[in-house]
Amino acid sequence: MRIHVDKLASVTRNLRLGRTLTLAPEILLEEGSVIACRVRGEKTTYNQLEDPHGRMSTLHDGDILVGALGHRNALQGYEGILPTALKTGDTVNLLNMGGVIGTCLSYNRDLGKPFDMEVLGQVQVFPEFQSRAGQAAHIRMGALQGTSLSPRCPVVYVAGTCMNAGKTAAACAAIRQLSRAGYRVGACKLTGVSLMRDALAMRDYGAEVALDFTDAGVVCTDAGSAAGVARIIFSELAAHGVDVIVAETGDGIMGEYGVQAILEDAGLRALGGAFVLCANDPVGVAGGVHQLQSAFGIRADLVAGPATDNRVGERFVATLGLPARNARADADALGNFVLGLVEAKLSSSKGGS
């Protein structure tokens, strides 16, 4: 069946799809499989979709949308799973603005229930020239494969206690100062559920290249995929000749997107040139600092996020023997602190070579 679609989701960007597509009735039931659905109903909250260029558009009843099957485990969003069975005509849910599709199990009341969508079919691609034999579209088609890790390229890790803890703002502040200082900066988001927004923000703040896990063919990271994805992304950034990498880990250090798998990996930890912890409140700071040290042997270099929004929070952070910088109140101060850590790491590396 040939159809003209209204909305292509950003999760499908590796495929570079057009708006006129061929559908098959048999669904490839696995994460990353690309399907077409028809939106049912209207919503006034969480009602937008990000396209492959990063533009947001509002969804309406009857829109034909192309996204990818996957799961999501967001405390401040939707919890959803890959359906156990799926056929045309079935109802599924839109789990995020990047176009991840699955079955919703629970949701945050602030967002309301997710969109219901009718499954129309499996998107087909035709990779062989002049062949009419289609293949089930999957986001791993056209995905990065990675080359090799470069230990000479330090990584600034930015992790947090939860969603919306100020991680992207802190990462962008660091990127801006590193770029201003003349360093070629690669940036990435290593974990989470597919959405281009944060990587695009990193580009806006001076990153020469910015990637995320979907570029490596993953819809939503977990404990089994996160460390491998980080290696692919780091190697790809190193291949671009960057001097330093700023890496945000989506969600929290105790969440379900695989951040722990990255922190547990000795090879990935060894690349660290700085470690920034973002938290929303003093309890989050204390718990995050303790968890990083006790579970992973990581000492945070800097605390950022809403917990440092004024001097009250800064004083508390000081009781832990750590500096505090705020990306909103003084982004330059945060960036300059990270710059100092990176330059010390680079200087040490040169001295040891």
Q: What is the pLDDT of residues 240-255, one digit of tens each?
A: 999 999 999 998 999 8
Segment 164-216, tens digit of pLDDT: 999 999 999 999 999 999 999 999 999 999 999 999 999 999 999 999 999 99
Which runs of E-coded beta strand occur in the chain?
2-4, 7-8, 20-24, 34-40, 48-50, 56-58, 64-69, 72-73, 78-81, 91-94, 100-107, 116-125, 135-136, 155-160, 185-191, 209-212, 244-249, 272-278, 302-304
**Amino acid 352: pLDDT:** 56
Measured between alpha carbons, how far is 268 from 159 in angstroms, rounded to an integer?
14
Nearest partner of 65 among 31, 41, 29, 30, judged by Cα: 41
**Amino acid 150: pLDDT:** 60
Segment 32-44, tens digit of pLDDT: 999 999 999 999 9
Eight-state DSSP code of residue 270: H
Percentage of the chain with pLDDT > 90? 88
User: What would the mean pLDDT of 97-104 be, rounded to a whole number?
Assistant: 97
**Amino acid 74: pLDDT:** 86
Is the pLDDT at 83 greater than 80? The verdict is yes
First to last CA, the chain: 61
**Amino acid 296: pLDDT:** 96
Is the pLDDT at 353 greater than 80? The verdict is no
Is the pLDDT at 335 greater than 80? The verdict is yes
Segment 277-333, tens digit of pLDDT: 999 999 999 999 999 999 999 999 999 999 999 999 999 999 999 999 999 999 999
**CATH numbers and ranges of domains, the chain:** 2-136 (no CATH), 155-352 (3.40.50.300)
Is the pLDDT at 152 greater than 80? The verdict is no
More confident residue, 93 or 163: 93
* Residue pair 345/274 in contact by the 8 Å Cβ criterion: yes
- The pLDDT mean for the chain works out to 94
Q: Which long-range CB contacts under 8 A does 57-62 form with residues at least 24 apart?
A: 57/7, 59/7, 59/94, 59/115, 62/38
The 10 Å CB-count burial string (b at 16+, else e) for 210-244 is: bbbbbbbbbbbbeeebbbbbbbbbbbbbbeeebbb
Segment 214-243, tens digit of pLDDT: 999 999 999 999 999 999 999 999 999 999
Is the pLDDT at 75 greater than 60? The verdict is yes
Q: How far is CA 266 from CA 251, 260, 322, in A?
A: 21, 12, 24
User: What would the mean pLDDT of 10-15 be, rounded to a whole number?
Assistant: 97
User: What would the mean pLDDT of 53-80 be, rounded to a whole number?
Assistant: 95
**Amino acid 93: pLDDT:** 98
Is the pLDDT at 149 greater than 70? The verdict is no
Nearest partner of 160 among 250, 244, 80, 70, judged by Cα: 250
pTM for the predicted model, two decimal places: 0.93
- 133 band by pLDDT with thresholds 50, 70 and 90: confident
**Amino acid 224: pLDDT:** 95
Token pair for 269: 């930890």
